[in-house]
Structure 1
Amino acid sequence: MTIAVPAFDRARVLVVGDLMLDRYWHGETSRISPEAPVPVVHVGPAEERPGGAANVALNLAALGARPLLLGLTGDDEAADTLERLLTPAGVSCRFARLPTHPTVTKLRVLSRHQQLIRLDFERGFAPADAARIAHDLSDCLDEVDVVVLSDYGKGTLAASRELIALARSQGKAVVVDPKGSDFGRYRGASVITPNRKEFEAVVGRCADDAELVARGSALIERELLDALLVTRSEEGMTLLRRDEPPLDLPTQAREVFDVTGAGDTVVAVLAGALACGQPWPQATALANLAAGLVVGKLGTATVSVPELRRALFAHEENAFGAVTEARLLEAVAEARAHGERVVMTNGCFDILHAGHVDYLAQARRLGDRLIVAVNTDDSVRRLKGDARPVNALEHRMAVLAGLAAVDWVVPFDEDTPERLICAVGPDVLVKGGDYRPEDIAGYGCVTAAGGEVRTIDFRYDCSTSRIIDAILRARGEDA
């Protein structure tokens, strides 16, 4: 299965659900209170982050999407803070403010990265309060392709079945992050995404994978779902669909620091990928990758497109070495997102020798990543005659890819690599020999973009032509 990071700026997603403000107070503890057997925390830095459905929307915005966000809040300072945090991030907030209720707020007190206590400020919303959400949702459906219902059991989604039916009647996919033991409330959704504990609270304990699949498939039929995605912590995820084999994905987490908000990230990436037209397996695999990243962060957090790309490359065998032009452009974008300086050079590299190795090592020291563009066999023949190349393109690329100095090797078929160089836009363009920088193919577009064009001296005691001549002389043939 090929996984790619889509252009999330095309994702039109509406998030509806329970809005929360997560607050974090950090401080040192060095003594126990004389008033009670509890630690005394000297409060220092404080943080505020959107939580619940707001964190789903923030995750989408972090990917480059422009989500709409509907939900119930109080008419208070916490709601103002939520808007202040979300709007600059690219979230369009359409809160239904109720003066009779506080905005749901969770305050966590931490010391040395350990949570000491959590204080919740909330009063559940009544069904009558939630009724206005259906009207607001109806007004937004023409603007989106996918609807997310993020249920934290605070009352905003009391009419969830009505919301699902309304969205599906307009041809919108509905992704649900469920809460509670009544999944009938989500009948007709495109997919629900319970964790294993939530899933087994509804269908009963599953002794093995076969039982999980059987009970999950029965749930799909009973609740008229298109799919079911069960997140399984250290065991990864399982995607079940009608008339399709189960898809089991192992966890991608390298370390687990905090699972807070991981479900929000899964739902956001899944919904965003579906909105971009990705098939279920690819969208799920991308969500699984994102979950592995976010659990390595403290508190409710998000992942970015560069982080996804870097993780994707880290898990792919063809992340480096010989690549296509399309893959190279993705790799360069990912490298730039992490502040890496990209160097590029080109040549035939027909018979690799010590001069080439020295030249490429020098080029690599000019930046963090080195691209070597290699003439195809036809291109070499046009430049050097029918007797060349000695080594076929795939062999030349394989040898170059094995050098420690080289990150990516990419072929080009033109007589010069100018088009490819301009597409890549390296920070440094390098050529060997006696070229003047302004005569090097790609000079104009590289310098226009603020890059450098450099030359490096060759070792003139090494050359492919000399090696060929020496071989022919040894065989008694005319060079």
Structure 2
Amino acid sequence: MNLKNLKKGKVIVFGDVILDKYIMGSIDRISPEAPVPVLRPSNEEIRLGGAANVALNLSSLGTKATLIGVTGKDGDSRVVNELLKKNKIKIALRKSLHPTISKTRLLSAQQQILRIDEEENFSEEDWKFTLELFYKHISLNDVSALVLSDYGKGTLKDTALLIKKAKAKGKIVLVDPKGKDFSKYKGADIITPNFSEFEDVVGRVGSEADLTKKGKALIKALNLNALLITRGPEGMTLLQNKKGKVLRSDFPTQARDVFDVSGAGDTVIAALAGGLAGGFDLGDSIRMANIAAGIVVAKLGTATVTPQEINPFLEKEKPYLTLEEVGPYKDDLKDSNKKIVFTNGCFDILHAGHVEYLEKAKALGDKLIVGINSDSSVSKLKGKNRPINKLIHRAKVLSSLRCVDKVVMFDENTPLKLIKTLQPDLLVKGGDYKVKDIVGYKEVTGCGGSVVTIPLVKGLSTTKILDQAQ
């Protein structure tokens, strides 16, 4: 997963714009006027909240974000605009006669004591104005996804209309829902309720099996592609509709310390949208979102995450998939009509010839999947002194190449089982092979795919490098 690809995406965020204020201090006495603590302020912070925090998280990840919403004609509105400009977020806001929505939190010793909310319902004129802004921006060809950030403050007066228009334009629609009526989100691609919000809609969940059953029913009722339930200490649960069959995947929490869950849902949907807009598949996007959420809950208040913070967690994961793990990834690509290119090798010592070959292979399709021999497989093929580099290291170097989308390990002498599972559109090997002799030729061409060869770079090979080193 190359996080640099996050810069390729462009996402619209439409929803309730909130200004979050934090007044922090110490408490050392009780008021003589009433039995309440007296806060002595020592610090104050102002941050973007609600839909603005989603846009901020997208920008922090490197994804281009446009924010549509409503603020007032007041000082808080000016602060919102300044923060948006500072963080390079494109502004598409309506200036209402009603005040900017704000939340003021009083804290002591990192504990919230009191919250003060300022909000009024926005007018029909405000809605019509933002709707025109939406029509303008959703029509742009470079926009990949729409996030509807619903905090129940009244900005999104007709979510069904927004979903319909966005889908008609071919955009991915993600919704962070609110309330007990999810029917207004029908037709969205993905909704991301937390567990409490999920139970508010489907009723009490008595077991994991019950969660799956009720999740499947909700997907069917709302015609969703996927339902992602955030579950705090229990991580996330994904229910995904694949050709009429709903499959479940669980993602364990990445959180180490939890100081504040404020805005964690914003981070999740921002990372998810940024990943999908950047070309990641749903599974990788959720993995990234799960890591991002684990980082952000260790910070105080609404906060953001950068690719630099996420990368160390990705580096700890194994850099390859197994035959069993690659199936769901392949299904996602097929469902998205992505052209799969497959090649394979030992890649014991990666050299410039390999890189040039792989770059040419990637140029032939949308996703390049590289099969890599296990250590035992390399030894059988190359001799007992090989491989020079262990599988984990070979795969890590391969997966770091921008042209490689996935690395998959196989334990056999040939990748035939892997090819049968992947059913690639294009099977590629080096020019030293005859096309009809390539392992998988019959299987790939039999399914309507093609098999091609790419000329190798003369004078470059792992064997020659090893001979020269002796």
TM-score of the aligned structures, taking structure 2 as reference length: 0.67
1:115 aligns with 2:117: no
1:42 aligns with 2:44: no
Q: How do 1:185-196 and structure 2 match up within 5 A?
A: 185-196=184-195
Q: Is the 8 A contact 2:96 2:122 kept in 1?
A: no
1:270 aligns with 2:272: yes
Q: How do 1:21-420 and structure 2 match up within 5 A?
A: 21-99=19-97, 101-143=98-140, 144-242=143-241, 243-316=245-318, 392=385, 394-395=387-388, 397=389
Structure 1: state its 5+ residue gaps: 330-389, 402-407, 412-419, 421-467, 469-479
Q: Distance in 2 between matches of 1:244 and 1:8?
A: 28
Instruction: Give the partner amino acid of 1:310.
Output: P
What is the aligned partner in structure 1 of residue 445 from structure 2? none
Instruction: Give the partner amino acid of 1:110.
Output: L
Q: Distance in 1 between matches of 2:120 and 2:213?
A: 38
Alignment size in residue pairs:
339
Q: Distance in 1 between matches of 2:350 and 2:207?
A: 42
What is the aligned partner in structure 1 of residue 435 from structure 2? none
Change (3 A) 1:214 1:27: same
Change (3 A) 1:87 1:134: same
Q: Distance in 2 between matches of 1:152 and 1:268?
A: 15
Q: 1:93-116: per-residue Cα shift (whole Å, max 9, x none)?
A: 1110102x1100111111121211
Instruction: Give the partner amino acid of 2:316.
Output: A
Q: Is the 8 A contact 1:12 1:146 kept in 2?
A: yes
Q: 1:118-167: per-residue Cα shift (whole Å, max 9, x none)?
A: 11111122455323322111100133110000000000011111111111
Q: Is the 8 A contact 1:6 1:273 kept in 2?
A: no
SS of match in other structure, 1:67: strand
Q: 1:376-412: per-residue Cα shift (whole Å, max 9, x none)?
A: xxxxxxxxxxxxxx994634x46xx9xxxxxx9979x
Instruction: Give the partner amino acid of 1:251.
Output: T
Change (3 A) 1:324 1:104: farther
Change (3 A) 1:306 1:220: same
- Deviates further, 138-147 or 67-76: 138-147
Q: Distance in 2 between matches of 1:68 and 1:192?
A: 20
Instruction: Give the partner amino acid of 1:290.
Output: A
Q: Which has the larger radius of gyration?
A: 1
Q: Distance in 1 between matches of 2:295 and 2:315?
A: 13
Q: Is the 8 A contact 1:253 1:293 kept in 2?
A: yes
Instruction: Give the partner amino acid of 1:175.
Output: L
Q: Is the 8 A contact 1:127 1:155 kept in 2?
A: no
Percent of aligned pairs sharing the same letter: 45
Alignment RMSD: 2.8
Q: 1:298-357: per-residue Cα shift (whole Å, max 9, x none)?
A: 100000001110121234478xxx99789xx9xxxxxxxxxxxxxxxxxxxxxxxxxxxx
SS of match in other structure, 1:394: coil
Q: Distance in 1 between matches of 2:203 and 2:384?
A: 63
SS of match in other structure, 1:28: strand
Change (3 A) 1:410 1:156: closer
Q: Distance in 2 between matches of 1:323 and 1:235?
A: 41
Q: Distance in 1 between matches of 2:102 and 2:303?
A: 16
Q: 1:216-246: per-residue Cα shift (whole Å, max 9, x none)?
A: 1111111111111111111111111212421
Change (3 A) 1:394 1:283: same
- Deviates further, 200-209 or 178-187: 200-209
Q: 1:81-103: per-residue Cα shift (whole Å, max 9, x none)?
A: 0111121111111110102x110
Q: Distance in 1 between matches of 2:246 and 2:179?
A: 27
TM-score of the aligned structures, taking structure 1 as reference length: 0.66
Q: Distance in 2 between matches of 1:306 and 1:230?
A: 26
Deviation at 1:34, TM superposition (A): 1.4
Q: Distance in 2 between matches of 1:325 and 1:197?
A: 52
Q: Distance in 1 between matches of 2:397 and 2:280?
A: 27
SS of match in other structure, 2:107: strand
- Deviates further, 270-279 or 26-35: 26-35
Instruction: Give the partner amino acid of 1:182.
Output: D
Instruction: Give the partner amino acid of 2:280.
Output: Q
Q: Distance in 1 between matches of 2:396 and 2:160?
A: 53
Q: Is the 8 A contact 1:5 1:286 kept in 2?
A: no
Q: Is the 8 A contact 1:18 1:155 kept in 2?
A: yes
Q: 1:235-264: per-residue Cα shift (whole Å, max 9, x none)?
A: 111111212421111111111111000000
Change (3 A) 1:273 1:323: farther
Q: Distance in 1 between matches of 2:58 and 2:262?
A: 17
Q: Is the 8 A contact 1:237 1:251 kept in 2?
A: yes
